C-alpha cells in the first residue's frame, strides 16, 4: 500500500454512492467510521444541488466494535425506509468497515423482511477496485437486479419502441460536465430522430429499468461507467451498443455513423451524412477554426494531455488530428484499462504514460516543458508552479468545473467549447509573454521548489535576484536547467557563478 496525498480516482464506496445518488428516490446507507463520510459534503458543494444528498452513514464506533453492527445497520435501513419511502436502499461498506468481515448479505436479508422498498448490498471488492470500477459494477448490479425482478413478476417489457430509441448509460453525479453532456446528447438524438428511452443512472427511477430492453440500442459515452451494463444488456437481451465518445468533430461523426449502422441493421431507413456535413460546416465552429490563422499559429505547439481514459484519449486525438498541435505526452490514470488507452492514442503522441502517481506526471511535465497542459485539477496545480497554462478536461475536478452556464464537451456544441478551451489555454501564455516584452504587472516570485521532492536546492540571494530578471515565460526553464547542472555536479547551493556556468554549459 502506498501513501498518497492526491488521488485521481477515489475509493470504491465513492463510486457506489455516485451511482446511488444519481437515481431518483434511491437512498444509500454507508457502513463506515467517521472520516469516510465526506461524500455528502463533497457532492453538496460541487453539484450545488438543492436537495439533500440521499446518503446516510451508519457509523462504526467503539460500541459497534464491542457488540457488532448488525442491529444498528438493520435499524438504520428500516428507519430510512419508513421515513423517506425510497424505491431502493443500497448498503455499501468502505475499506475500513470491511475489515470487520461482517455478513452484510445477512444484514440486507434481515432488513428486507421489514422494509417496504428493495434493499441491495453493493457487491464490490473494496480492496481491489477504485471509484470508477465500483461505479461501473454498481450500475450493472442495479440494472440486473431490476430486470431479473421484472422477469419474476412478469412485468418485463421487451417490445421495441415504434421509432428508433436509445438508452444513454453512464452519466452520474460528480461526473465531468455530465449534466451538460446529457443535455447535448438529448438534443443530438432528437436531431437524428431518435427517442431517448432512458438516461441511466442520472435522473432515472429504478422502477423504470424494466423498460430498458425497449430501446433499439445503448449508447455509452464514457468508457469508465456504463460499459459493463451495456455488455450485460447485449448478452441477455441482444441489445447492440455504441461506445464511441462523440467528442470532437471527427469522433462525433464516427459515433453518428456507428449509430446509423446499428439502426440500419434493425430495418430503419436512415441516412445521417447530410446532417453530419451541415453540423460540421455550419454549427460546429471547430472545423472552421482549424483552417483559421489563429489555429495555424498553434500548429506545432507542444502539449501534454492527462486524465481518465475517455477524455484523455479524445483530447489527444482532437489536438493532434484536428488542430495540428504536437502532443508530446498522453497519459491516463486508469491503469486497469491501459491497453485500450494505448491503442486509442498510438500514433497521435510521442510518449504514453499510464500512472496514478501525480508526482510522476508532474515530473514529466517539468521535463517536457510543453506550451500547454490539458489534464485534471492536479495537473493544473503543477502547471501553475511551472508557469505553464493548463485547461482542465477530466476529473478530479474543482467547483469551477461545475459551471452554471451551459458547457458540454460532447456533441457539436462540445466541439466549440473544446476549441475555446484549447485556444484560451495557449493564448493566455502568449499574453504573459507579451507582458514581459512590453512591460507589465509581472510580480511572480522565483519558485525554488521543483515538482519532485529531490529537486529542492538552495539559492543565494544574488542568484535569486538574477533569476528574477529572466523573462517569466522562460524563467522556469532556466531554473530547471540550472538546478540540473548543479545536481549533476553534487552542488547543494546555487550561486551566481553556478548560474553563469550552467548558462555556458547549455550554450546559451
Sign of CA dihedral 151, 156, 159, 165: negative
Q: How confident is the model at residue 28 (pLDDT cuts 50, 70, 90)?
A: very high
Contacts of 44 (CB under 8 A, 6+ apart): 52, 53
What is the CATH number that goes with domain 458-506? 1.10.8.550
| pTM of this structure | 0.83
Q: Are strands 326-332 and 217-219 parallel, antiparallel or unpaired?
A: unpaired
Query: pLDDT category, 444, cuts 50, 70, 90?
Result: very low
Distance CA 93, CA 26 (A): 17
List the chain domain ranges.
12-129, 165-283, 291-438, 458-506
Q: Which three cell numbers stand for residue 129?
A: 477496485
Task: Give yes or no for a contact between 426 and 372, defined as CB atoms under 8 angstroms apart.
Answer: yes
Check residue 97 and give its pLDDT: 73
Which is nearest to 328 in space by CA: 312, 342, 343, 349? 349
Contact between 312 and 376 under an 8 Å Cβ cutoff? The reply is no
Reported residue count of the chain is 508
Catalytic residue among 49, 61, 75, 294: 294
**Angle, CA of 132, 172 and 41, to the nearest 5°:** 85
User: In what side-by-side order are the strands of the sheet with 326-332?
Assistant: 349-354, 326-332, 302-307, 372-375, 390-392
Please give the full DSSP string across 320-360, using - where no structure is assigned.
IIIS--EEEEEEES-GGGHHHHHHHHTTTEEEEEE-S-HHH
Higher pLDDT among residues 215 and 482, named by residue: 215
- Contact partners, residue 113, CB within 8 Å, separation at least 6: none
Mean pLDDT of 20-31: 92
Q: Chain-wide mean pLDDT for the chain?
A: 87
Q: What pLDDT is recorded for position 449?
A: 42
Judge contact between 285 and 421, C-beta under 8 A: no
Angle formed at CA 128 by CA 125 and CA 134, multiple of 5 degrees: 60
Residue closest to 304 by CA, chosen among 378, 224, 399, 254 = 378
- Topology of the domain covering 291-438: Rossmann fold (3.40.50)
DSSP 446: P
Confidence tier at 64 by pLDDT (50, 70, 90): low
Burial of 123 (0-12, 13-18, 19+ CB in 10 A): middle
458-506: same fold as 291-438?
no
165-283: what CATH class? alpha beta
Tens-digit pLDDT profile for residues 142-184: 999 999 999 999 999 899 999 999 999 999 999 999 999 999 9
Yes or no: say if 226 and 170 are a contact pair by the CB < 8 Å rule. yes
Give 100 or 488, the one with higher predicted confidence.
488
Q: What percent of the chain has pLDDT over 90?
A: 53
3-state secondary structure of 315: helix
pLDDT at position 475, please?
Answer: 74
Kind of pairing, strands 165-169 and 118-121? Answer: unpaired
The sign of the dihedral angle between the CA atoms of 428, 432, 433, 437 is positive
Answer yes or no: 136 catalytic.
no
Q: What is the structure's pLDDT at 328?
A: 96
pLDDT-derived band of residue 1, with 50, 70 and 90 as boundaries?
very low
* Class of domain 12-129 as given by CATH: alpha beta
Listed range (196-205, 317-326, 369-378, 400-409) with the worst mean pLDDT: 400-409
Count of C-beta atoms within a 10 Å radius of residue 469: 7
State the DSSP code for 33: -
Amino acid at each position: 500500500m502506498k501513501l498518497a496525498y492526491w488521488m485521481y480516482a477515489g475509493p470504491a464506496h465513492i463510486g457506489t454512492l455516485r451511482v446511488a445518488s444519481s437515481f431518483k428516490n434511491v437512498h444509500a446507507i454507508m457502513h463506515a467510521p467517521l472520516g469516510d463520510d465526506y461524500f455528502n459534503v463533497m457532492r453538496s458543494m460541487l453539484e450545488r444541488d438543492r436537495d439533500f444528498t440521499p446518503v446516510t452513514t451508519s457509523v462504526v464506533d467503539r460500541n459497534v466494535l464491542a457488540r457488532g453492527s448488525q442491529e444498528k445497520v438493520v435499524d438504520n435501513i428500516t428507519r430510512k425506509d419508513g421515513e423517506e419511502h425510497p424505491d431502493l436502499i443500497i448498503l455499501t461498506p468502505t475499506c475500513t468497515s470491511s475489515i470487520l468481515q461482517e455478513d452484510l448479505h445477512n444484514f440486507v436479508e434481515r432488513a428486507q423482511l421489514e422494509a417496504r422498498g428493495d434493499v441491495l448490498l453493493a457487491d464490490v471488492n473494496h480492496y481491489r477496485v477504485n471509484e470508477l470500477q465500483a461505479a461501473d459494477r454498481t450500475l450493472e448490479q442495479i440494472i440486473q437486479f431490476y430486470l431479473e425482478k421484472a422477469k419474476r413478476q412478469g412485468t418485463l417489457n421487451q417490445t421495441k419502441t415504434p421509432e428508433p430509441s436509445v438508452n444513454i448509460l453512464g452519466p452520474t453525479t460528480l461526473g465531468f460536465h455530465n449534466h451538460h453532456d446529457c443535455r447535448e446528447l438529448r438534443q443530438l438524438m432528437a436531431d437524428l430522430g431518435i427517442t431517448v428511452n432512458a438516461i441511466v443512472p442520472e435522473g432515472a427511477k429504478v422502477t423504470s429499468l424494466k423498460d430498458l430492453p425497449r430501446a433499439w440500442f445503448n449508447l455509452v459515452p464514457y468508457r469508465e461507467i456504463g460499459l459493463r451494463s451495456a455488455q450485460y444488456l447485449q448478452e441477455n437481451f441482444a441489445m447492440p451498443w455504441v461506445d464511441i465518445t462523440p467528442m470532437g468533430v471527427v469522433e462525433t461523426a464516427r459515433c453518428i455513423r456507428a449509430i446509423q449502422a446499428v439502426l440500419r441493421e434493425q430495418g430503419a431507413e436512415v441516412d445521417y451524412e447530410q446532417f453530419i456535413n451541415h453540423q460540421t460546416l455550419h454549427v460546429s465552429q471547430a472545423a472552421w477554426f482549424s483552417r483559421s490563422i489563429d489555429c495555424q499559429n498553434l500548429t506545432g505547439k507542444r502539449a501534454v494531455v492527462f486524465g481518465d481514459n475517455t477524455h484523455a484519449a479524445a483530447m489527444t486525438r482532437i489536438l493532434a488530428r484536428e488542430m495540428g498541435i504536437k502532443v508530446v505526452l498522453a497519459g491516463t490514470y486508469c491503469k486497469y484499462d491501459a491497453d485500450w488507452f494505448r491503442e486509442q492514442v498510438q500514433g497521435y503522441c510521442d510518449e504514453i504514460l499510464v500512472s496514478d502517481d501525480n508526482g510522476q506526471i508532474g515530473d514529466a511535465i517539468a521535463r517536457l516543458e510543453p506550451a500547454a497542459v490539458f489534464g485534471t485539477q492536479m495537473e493544473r496545480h503543477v502547471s501553475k508552479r511551472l508557469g505553464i497554462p493548463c485547461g482542465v478536461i477530466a476529473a478530479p475536478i474543482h467547483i469551477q468545473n461545475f459551471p452554471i452556464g451551459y458547457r458540454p464537451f460532447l456533441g457539436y456544441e462540445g466541439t466549440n467549447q473544446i476549441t475555446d478551451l484549447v485556444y484560451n489555454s495557449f493564448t493566455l501564455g502568449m499574453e504573459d509573454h507579451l507582458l514581459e516584452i512590453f512591460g507589465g504587472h509581472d510580480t511572480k516570485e522565483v519558485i525554488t521548489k521543483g515538482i519532485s521532492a529531490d529537486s529542492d536546492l538552495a539559492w543565494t540571494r544574488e542568484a535569486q535576484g538574477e533569476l528574477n530578471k529572466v523573462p517569466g515565460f522562460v524563467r522556469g526553464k532556466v531554473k530547471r536547467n540550472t538546478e540540473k547542472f548543479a545536481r549533476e555536479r553534487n552542488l547543494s547551493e546555487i550561486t551566481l557563478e553556478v548560474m553563469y556556468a550552467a548558462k555556458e554549459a547549455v550554450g546559451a
